[in-house]
Structure 1
């Protein structure tokens, strides 16, 4: 059967031009050129054998035939638009539940999550409570971001993200004046703050940059990176921390890198998942995005 109806592009051009009374305004609304609107309506008029618009000054107004045609087709155009919106809204949401180490979550991941939401609105992302000794097998969690070393238990697939490189941090004021920190040895004149779970950070960094030292006497040990950064900003001492976690505090002027000589340790943050689980499209999207963010951070 020969199709008698015109194309949707012609119908949209006609309907919008009729509503706004101008070919140029219709072109702006539909993000096409005025010439494209004019040609579409000319094809429609030729197809129907009727003049649909007449000029009145700068306005394009419907002829009686145009008004009758608009009244007949407007409900059909509206029905097509409504049906299309309804079908799109029924696209299945892709759920993803992730457990993330709190330090990386607050200092690195959260500022980047708006980018993920903008790029992948189809993925519903939720976060499970973090458990330090989680076996990485909970059935209601799709992936974990954990601190670890390259060797993971059998059945766990792990991708390195960030966190291997550590640097010493101080107050910005500690980099100026006659007592300014200039060399690794200068740091030893300041109180050394340590991470409770990684007390060897200072020793490993000093060894990595070739700085000889005597016995290290930490002034305090604190349990989280957030507390260490607060202590450094308050002038309580200097600390060795993962470089990838420092950007917000450096940008705010709270801390500064004391000596820009990163030392790479054999641990960092890894994206982990059970390798035997069925493929999860949302997890593939998340993995590609988070690895891209990691490359941008450490690249």
Structure 2
């Protein structure tokens, strides 16, 4: 079935704005022209897309589902148009990331990438929401515990992460110094609720610990748990990658390094069709180079603190 683009455009605007009059203003036509195009589309489909109640219009159930698909298609067309328009000048690279790695590790490195690649306009989005790379709006998705790559995409795992207990120096060496697993019982535990490896897992591996795992502040973002630990609120169990800045600056220290664990952490996901594009391939090469530098710092830090 072939349908009129003008009719679909009129329907999309009316569905998005909830009004034939507002759709007419946006498309610079009359409300009757919008009504005519929508009626033409309904006739072609053989079903109503709107309930017409007095002067207002409400999508039918079928109309709501159709509108969602049409709006997504228009968003992809808009993204493709912006990409094509940028081809002659600067290129946009849109990165989506989980908030903690964006805040704790990635953002302070992006200026270095920007200096080395002035032709790239970097755009960083941070949220815990999963991104549909197929929409073409985002080029790269950096996720924690990414799992299998979606259809049509490929994931490049980051080097294994190191998860270890950390706290402010004044707690580690204060009136209740932390020299053994048992010493943790005298301290507040800070819980990161979305971490792969949490205090309950740590406690099972270190049975000498008698810890109250039901107490202590809980955060659903690692950057908040790390900040709380640096402020002296307690002992966090989190990623050395995410806490790199606080560890380097001395705001945090590793305690009980012999209990540290290596775990799978983040991954770099992009569409297979985009993975060889220069802007994506170059960014991945730079990102993993930065990760290797962090890994070398880890090795030195682990050697200094006795982390196995």
Q: How does 1:61-76 map to 2 (within 5 A)?
A: none
Q: How does 1:208-223 map to 2 (within 5 A)?
A: 208=205, 211-213=208-210, 216-223=213-220
Question: How does the TM-score come out when normalised to structure 1?
Answer: 0.62
1:238 to 231, 235, 242: 235
- Partners of 1:134 and 1:108 in 2: CA distance: 20
User: How many residue pairs are counted as aligned between the two chains?
Assistant: 209
| 1:201 matches 2:198 | yes
| 1:169 matches 2:166 | yes
Q: Deviations over 1:262-288 (max 9, x none)?
A: 2022x4111101224474211111010
**Equivalent in the alignment of 2:244:** 247
Q: 1:289 offset after TM fit, Å? A: 0.4
- Partners of 2:268 and 2:196 in 1: CA distance: 24
Secondary structure of 1:152 counterpart: coil
Secondary structure of 1:244 counterpart: coil
- Partners of 2:185 and 2:105 in 1: CA distance: 29
The answer for unaligned runs of 5 or more in structure 1 is: 1-89
Structure index of larger Rg = 1
**Equivalent in the alignment of 2:142:** 145
Q: Deviations over 1:106-127 (max 9, x none)?
A: 1101121122122222222212
| 1:229 matches 2:245 | no
- Partners of 1:160 and 1:121 in 2: CA distance: 27
Q: Deviations over 1:169-226 (max 9, x none)?
A: 1110122245211123322321111112238511223445665546623312112223
Q: Give the CA RMSD over aligned residues.
A: 2.6
Q: Which segment drifts farther, 206-215 or 154-163?
A: 206-215
- Judged with a 3 Å threshold, the aligned counterparts in structure 2 of structure 1 residues 162 and 102 are, in CA distance, closer, same or farther, namely farther
Secondary structure of 2:135 counterpart: coil
| 1:264 matches 2:262 | yes
**Equivalent in the alignment of 1:280:** 277
Q: How does 1:40-55 map to 2 (within 5 A)?
A: none
Question: How does the TM-score come out when normalised to structure 2?
Answer: 0.60
Preserved contact between residue 184 and residue 206 of structure 1 (Cα < 8 Å) = no
- Judged with a 3 Å threshold, the aligned counterparts in structure 2 of structure 1 residues 129 and 231 are, in CA distance, closer, same or farther, namely closer
Preserved contact between residue 157 and residue 274 of structure 1 (Cα < 8 Å) = yes
Secondary structure of 2:122 counterpart: strand
**Equivalent in the alignment of 1:63:** none
Q: How does 1:8-87 map to 2 (within 5 A)?
A: none
**Equivalent in the alignment of 1:122:** 119
